[in-house]
Amino acid sequence: MNEHALFDISIMLIPLIFGITVHEYAHGFAADKLGDKTARMLGRLSINPINHIDFFGTLILPIGVAVATSGAIFFGYAKPVPISPHNFKNLRKGIIISTLAGPLSNFVMALFWSFGLLATPHIPHHGFSTALFAISIMGIKINTILGVLNLLPIPPLDGSKVISVLLPKSIHTHLFNHEQYGLIILLAMSISGILSTVIDPMVKTVLGFYMNLIGLLS
């Protein structure tokens, strides 16, 4: 593997690992504030990536999907932060808020990387400035894709959990029983290009917002 390829993987993995880590932390943080202390008691209420990284889901899968889709899709996952919904005072509200906290955190992370992009012209060290610019661009793109992707109502994505609590219990149970097939469906959609077609309009809209914001602030 040449130096250029290693650099490309590095600038992808850094924002991806932190994007997925913060995503999981956000689930646990929201649940904790809503009365469920499960993540805190198990030591998972942490932004330390080591506590959340799944070797296959956080490293192997994202690289494989990115290569297969020529960088159009970045799909991966970390070890899910444990949540015990029965601890919520309002079950439906607790599940919805703690679930949506994950995608929301990715949109916030994209905003964070936008500020990183704004900082690059003011950094005197050219090599560091170039690396930060590349990582920031990738951070905005990856977190936007992760945020939009997780809103889809396909198990095990967050959108499916929100939809499931709004549906009758029989349908919720049916979705839960077939959740193991969701990853296969997502991989097939990624490789076939269907997933890109589905999420591209929303991804471009959100990316446009960040680019316009950067333009206004620069």
Domain ranges of the chain: 3-217
Show the tokens assigned to 212. Answer: 């316009």
Query: CA–CA separation, 131 vs 96, rounded Å?
Result: 37
* Spatial distance between the Cα atoms of 47 and 45, rounded to a whole number of angstroms: 7
Alpha helices (H) along the chain: 3-33, 38-41, 61-68, 91-119, 126-149, 158-166, 169-177, 182-192, 194-217
pLDDT tens, residue order, the chain (218 aa):
545 555 667 788 889 889 999 999 999 999 999 999 999 999 899 999 888 888 888 888 887 877 777 766 767 788 889 999 999 999 999 999 999 999 999 999 999 999 988 888 777 766 778 888 889 999 999 999 999 999 998 888 999 889 888 887 766 666 666 677 888 888 899 889 899 999 999 999 999 999 999 988 87
Active-site option among 24, 32, 36, 158:
24
In angstroms, how far is the first alpha carbon of the chain from the final one? 37
DSSP state of 1: -
Euclidean distance between CA atoms 178 and 197, whole angstroms: 24
The one-character DSSP state at 152 is S
**How do residues 74-129 score in pLDDT, each as one tens digit?**
677 888 899 999 999 999 999 999 999 999 999 999 999 999 888 887 777 667 78
- Alpha-carbon gap, residue 148 to 36, rounded angstroms: 26
User: Is 3 a residue of the active site?
Assistant: no
- The residue with tokens 């030591």 is 43
* CB burial string 102-119: b at 16+ within 10 A, e below: bbbbbbebbebbbebbee
Q: What is the helix (H) or strand (E) element at residue 74, kind and residue range?
A: none
